[in-house]
Structure 1
Amino acid sequence: MTVTMDELDRRSNSNFAGRVVRKDLVRQVKGGTNVPNYVLEFLLGKFAASDDPAAISTGLEVVRKTLTENFIRPDEAEKAKAELKRRSQLRLIDKVDVRLVASEDKYWAHLSNFGEKFIHIPEDLVYKYDRMLGGGVWSQLDLVYNAQDDETTKRPFFIKGLKPIQVAAFSMGDFIEARRAFSRDDWLDLLMRTIGLEPTHYDFRGKLLAITRLIPMAERNYNLIELGPWGTGKSFVYREASPNAILISGGKVTVPQLFVHMGTGRIGLLGLWDVIAFDEVAGLEMSDSTVVNMLKDYMESGSFARGKEEIPAEASLVFIGNTSKPHQELIRTAHLFADLPKAMIDPAFIDRLHFYLPGWEAPKLEQRLFTDHYGFVSDYFAEALRQLRKQTFVGAIDNDFSFGDHLSARDEKSVRKTISGFLKLLHPHEEWTRGELREYLEFALEGRRRVKEQLKKLAAHDYAKTAFSYVERDTGHEYWVDVPEQPESTEEALEAVPQAEAVAHIESVQGDTVQSLIERGEGRNVEFKQTGRMNRYTGQKDPVLEQMVVKSVAGFLNAAGGTLLIGVKDDGEVTGIEADFPTLGRKATLDGYALWLNGLLDNRMGPAAVANARIGFEGLPGGTVCRIDVRPSPAPVFVTGGKGEAELFVRLNNATRGLNVAEALDYVRTHWG
């Protein structure tokens, strides 16, 4: 078959000569073999990684001959054993797993296709390639037959030599330098082709969704879930594209399997693999509650206990499965985690997931979606991702963006890790634009918010804050990020509570003590902020925080009123406004604080804000709390930004939202008549 090379093919071959291969060749040689793609691409990379048709043709013949001579199907096992006995030595490609038989004080190897469970293997090979102890490794191996060396038990098969299927040499410096020859979008297309998909059939969002599956391979301790219809390729990259990932399909999951065998001390899968993917997650059986509890601890801390010893591990976890109903129905009648095993529908477990990949957006795989063009040889690219795990870009957004009020520390960690993963995949040379960074930020916020929206359904009291946003540091503009399948309806939120009822409620709230408001928690008419202007991370005055105070007050003014408490963390812990005092200079007093607030509100919103906001203070054991009681404004109040533009903010449910022009016009007409 002749494939017409395009510009991306030519550039890939020019910059990664011998490291890229035509992906249609994999399908040509695979046939009915049960060999992962990365094993076939290992051979193609050795013999057919070229843009010369003649070299490709010759290489294909070598690969086919190698498979014919070295690969056996399970139904050919007895024939292969007879051939080994006749010749005394045989070279095979097979999956090798090893177990320790303690009663014999001996390691035995098992070859999946060869079908023999008692094969002698040198201990030094077991220790050198310890993944054979946990799941098995596809390898090139030399078998010998020697009945005289084991006359008593009649186990005459011996492994003489073994070489795992993996790249022999890799230079991160060369990889990064070659990346510079590609634009971001071209590089994204190359990654799509690397995982076998033709990018011309996908839009930008579809491509991002597809390569999100690679983030666990590049980002340590990353927890991803993808649920959706069958047939969309959810498990492909974990089964076929990397020798560093293992796919577990259904069945029972035990503590020794994942963590450690207390009897032998043998480390489980978490200590052996970069990625552990649980396929058909609905069918997973946890041997007991200890498994889920240990998983929760590991997903949070990146370590697990062996007796009194704490063992660190870097394996990322992926949970993939099919949904029993259309996602719209799950959203309407239950939640998007409804198909998980009962033991995993635990808010504490779900809250540790960094990203929910919407599997219903991935198209069902058809022949037309597979690429015939060049992509990286899988074991080469897998090694690049493994090397990138050593780096981190979790702080990459801090110069340009900050997070909105509704993100918890766990939310921020999740979003940062997702962004770090995208930057490793798409910008390993550490060069990106602000616009590109914004795209990853919004996508990461969406994936984490999808998790939080389901948590709100499962435990509304603990997970009420789901209005995710980010702020541009230089302009102070705040942007909200929705989830496409569950868009936030401004109209529904505005109509949720009748205006008269809302006003009556706010009057009762403003009659409460600060302590009672804190105990009640944040809601439609109450909001907490830890500081008014001091950034607790940088120790410096932060205009973004000031703007958030202004927006909160504006939201109350333009709705039914409310109370803003400064000096209180989201969880209700009182920290006090004293942290802000160093930014006030010689006016570091309560009077000075009130003067600063009045000036801030007047400057950003005008006299109406000051007239309808009452500032007070109350001392509590944790510090002084500033209380701003806000009455509803008789006319719309707009917030002016640093460049003079005016925005309308409204308190909707438990969040302050900025309205676009159409929404603002409609709201002004209906709210003030």
Structure 2
Amino acid sequence: MNELDQKINTHFPGLVVRKDLVKTVKGNAIVPSYVLEYLLGQYCATSDEPTIQTGIETVKEILAKHYVHRNEAGLVRSNIKEKGRYKVIDKISVDLNDKKDVYEAQFSNLGIKEVLVDSGTVKKHPKLLVGGVWCIADLEYEFTEDKGSSPWILSTLKPIQLSHFDFEGYVEARKQFTTDEWIDLLVQSIGFNPEMFGKRSKLTQLVRLIPFCERNYNLIELGPKGTGKSHIYSEFSPHGILISGGEVTVPKLFVNNSSGKIGLVGYWDCVAFDEFAGKQKRVDKALVDIMKNYMANKSFSRGVETLGAEASMVFVGNTQHTVPYMLKHSDLFCELPDKFYDSAFLDRIHFYIPGWEVDIIRGEMFSSGYGFVVDYLAEILRSMRNHDYSDRYKEHFSLSSDISTRDRDGINKTFSGLMKILFPHGGATEEEIEELLRFAIEGRKRVKDQLMRIDSTYGNVRFTYLGTDGQAKPVTTLEEEEYPSYYNKAIAEGEDRETLEPAQPGSLPVPSGPLAPVEPVLKEKHLIFQENQKGLSFDTLFGFYLKGAAAITVTDPYIRLFYQMRNFMEFLETVVKHKASDEEVSVHLVTTEDDFKGEQQKENFEKMKESARAVGVNFTWKFDGTGTIHARHIVTDHGWKISLDRGLDIFQHYEMNDSFTFANRLQQYRPCKAFEVTFIKIGEYGNGH
């Protein structure tokens, strides 16, 4: 266990579980993670290895014995008949049979229905009536000659979710963690390894939790396949339900006017629509109209009666095109079905998660560290729906007066949700509050900027906020920074989004902005890059500043690990690309020796040296013995110093062993870490002015 895992176990004993255990016990059981973690929480919520191993065996045994696989349903039914009584784990839904005036349960995997349920159970667990609930139930079998009655009797039923928790204890324990530690604990709770994500990417993952802790929160996430968009809504919480976007009807979602039965929004905290994108999908116009009203006013009609509900709405779908392609030809909502491609509907969305920034899920991204048992965290988040943290920035900041009420609501709700998740105890610094406020503004700005393309009646809004000094601070979206020429372009009048042709090879734009690969005028400058920004490479960043140099010195204490060496090799490639074939260049590296793998480090440098010599680069290196070098910079003998606050380590983790991904082969397709670079003119040979 690392230091964080030990701390987690100390402050949340019995409420956390090792996240790799879920895979260990799952086997071929098709159950949500919260069901498995509920069981693991009963038997494995400890850091004691022998207890964990015993607990795993117990959970496996419970699943083997009591979880109903559909293909073994006949055997389980036989067991119940032979033994008279048997415990099962299954998804149970209940209907009212108004002809007999009784409630009847249906067991999803076991394949039995018309099992009598008493009114008390249904009153206690109303979600049984909509969508069904995973439960541990005791079933009895008693044959009767009466053809009208079922032989199955439900003797006990217990939904698989936490019955009680100590919110005060949770808040007190939160105070023992730094903000970064807490974020990592939450990311581990979702099941991911925090080391694989930058700060911005972690916040993006945590935004997915806001619908569980914020009432009537409307969230959309569109992006490439395989980024885990729907996972949280199907696996994470017993209070959320994931439904296919194509299966939604007014009665299912809101109200059945003939029976008067309330739909999903009346019972679930979060209703997520999977596969929401797809222009060809048929959508009921009446559904869109009711959704628009519900998303704006938290209410819907049943005949003459108006009903309110608190369910948050989440829309997730896949995009077919790249971001620059969408910005050039249409907008970031272009994949939606026509009926939803409606400015009044889209204006009700509080936050747009840029799914293209989220990494495609790979095996090494999963966590083996400790995180909350998810139904514990789900109950905590649910209890926080009663709180409002949206005013917690107002002591330090205020939103610009030309931000509309609807924009303000979106920003406030996102900010409130992030504050509940990260700072339930308060205690955020001004810098931390500002970071969350900027992030909340960016997500709403992404929605509004697209609306202005879709509907010309939307006026331009300056998304700025004011600090206590009265200075206005503008907020931009990351794609605005990356593709300014496309982002700020209005779509030509009359251009129909339906006529979008698939991208032709070579038609995608070259990244624009400060890094466009045109021979630039070299000048002193300072550049700042945001986390997850793409389109960067050593070539475009400082290739032209290396051109013509005969000697280059790189000072970077962190060229030790394999990926750092690979970065340095790519730097040498940049030198080679920018030198004339009949010239030779000397490159000298000053770094520090690795404490454990120094020999391997030297061996790799020797290989680089041999390889570089063949292409006209004389590579030398030395280890700094003092251990005091902190500066990271590149100095050329023809008058430039390039100061890099992260050295050459500017890219986020990517799959190095997969030769068939472009991120592996081309730097501009890798997301960056946040970093800054300064270009300083010095005298020839580094003597200074």
TM-score (norm 1): 0.70
Match of 2:565 in 1: none
| Alignment match of 2:21 (pick from 20, 25, 35) | 25
Match of 1:68 in 2: 64
Deviation at 1:346, TM superposition (A): 0.8
| Alignment match of 1:167 (pick from 162, 171, 176) | 162
Deviation at 1:324, TM superposition (A): 1.7
Do structure 1's residue 272 and structure 2's residue 273 form an aligned pair? no
Do structure 1's residue 247 and structure 2's residue 247 form an aligned pair? no
Do structure 1's residue 358 and structure 2's residue 332 form an aligned pair? no
| Alignment match of 1:42 (pick from 33, 38, 44) | 38
**Gap change, CA 1:440 and 1:477, over 3 Å in 2:** same
Distance in 2, matches of 1:204 and 1:76, equals 46
Matched residue SS, 2:479: coil
**Gap change, CA 1:468 and 1:124, over 3 Å in 2:** same
Do structure 1's residue 338 and structure 2's residue 324 form an aligned pair? no
Q: Which amino acid aligns with 1:476?
A: G
**Gap change, CA 1:494 and 1:47, over 3 Å in 2:** closer
Paired residues for 1:67-466 under 5 Å: 67-148=63-144, 151-153=146-148, 155-282=150-277, 288-460=284-456, 462-466=457-461
Superposition RMSD in Å: 2.0
State the 4+ residue runs in structure 1 displaced beyond 4 angstroms.
Answer: 283-287, 488-496
Matched residue SS, 1:475: coil
Query: Which sits farther off after the overlay, 293-302 or 250-259?
Result: 250-259
Deviation at 1:404, TM superposition (A): 2.0
Paired residues for 1:479-494 under 5 Å: 479-487=473-481
Deviation at 1:487, TM superposition (A): 2.9
Preserved contact between residue 252 and residue 286 of structure 1 (Cα < 8 Å): no
Matched residue SS, 1:282: coil
Paired residues for 1:530-569 under 5 Å: none
**Gap change, CA 1:394 and 1:493, over 3 Å in 2:** closer
Deviation at 1:168, TM superposition (A): 2.1
Distance in 2, matches of 1:362 and 1:117, equals 42
Distance in 2, matches of 1:489 and 1:241, equals 35
Distance in 1, matches of 2:446 and 2:487, equals 19
**Gap change, CA 1:8 and 1:413, over 3 Å in 2:** same
Preserved contact between residue 119 and residue 155 of structure 1 (Cα < 8 Å): yes
Percent of aligned pairs sharing the same letter: 43
Distance in 2, matches of 1:252 and 1:490, equals 38
Matched residue SS, 1:381: helix
Structure 1: which 5+ residue stretches go unaligned?
497-661, 663-673
**Gap change, CA 1:489 and 1:38, over 3 Å in 2:** closer
Do structure 1's residue 58 and structure 2's residue 93 form an aligned pair? no
Preserved contact between residue 406 and residue 465 of structure 1 (Cα < 8 Å): no
Match of 2:559 in 1: none
Deviation at 1:253, TM superposition (A): 1.6
Q: Deviations over 1:95-149 (max 9, x none)?
A: 011122333433221111111233222222122211011111000001111121x
Distance in 2, matches of 1:253 and 1:22, equals 36
Distance in 2, matches of 1:342 and 1:491, equals 27
**Gap change, CA 1:337 and 1:196, over 3 Å in 2:** same
Deviation at 1:287, TM superposition (A): 6.1
Distance in 2, matches of 1:350 and 1:494, equals 19
Distance in 2, matches of 1:493 and 1:155, equals 63
Matched residue SS, 1:389: helix
Deviation at 1:265, TM superposition (A): 1.9
Deviation at 1:308, TM superposition (A): 2.7
Match of 1:564 in 2: none
Deviation at 1:339, TM superposition (A): 1.5
Deviation at 1:334, TM superposition (A): 1.1
Deviation at 1:286, TM superposition (A): 6.6
Distance in 2, matches of 1:488 and 1:285, equals 31
| Alignment match of 2:469 (pick from 475, 478, 483) | 475
Q: Which amino acid aligns with 2:473?
A: Y
Preserved contact between residue 252 and residue 285 of structure 1 (Cα < 8 Å): no
Matched residue SS, 1:318: strand
Preserved contact between residue 482 and residue 488 of structure 1 (Cα < 8 Å): no
Match of 1:9 in 2: 5
Distance in 1, matches of 2:295 and 2:489, equals 40
Preserved contact between residue 245 and residue 274 of structure 1 (Cα < 8 Å): yes
Q: Aligned residues, how many?
A: 490
Q: Which amino acid aligns with 2:75?
A: K
Matched residue SS, 1:251: helix
Distance in 2, matches of 1:326 and 1:116, equals 47
Distance in 2, matches of 1:495 and 1:29, equals 52
Matched residue SS, 2:331: coil
Match of 2:592 in 1: none
Q: Deviations over 1:67-89 (max 9, x none)?
A: 11110211001111111111111
**Gap change, CA 1:13 and 1:479, over 3 Å in 2:** same
Deviation at 1:304, TM superposition (A): 1.7
Q: Deviations over 1:249-286 (max 9, x none)?
A: 23332221111222222211101000000011126967
Match of 1:604 in 2: none
Q: Which amino acid aligns with 1:36?
A: P
Deviation at 1:344, TM superposition (A): 0.7
Distance in 2, matches of 1:456 and 1:104, equals 56
Structure 2: which 5+ residue stretches go unaligned?
491-677, 679-689
**Gap change, CA 1:495 and 1:226, over 3 Å in 2:** closer
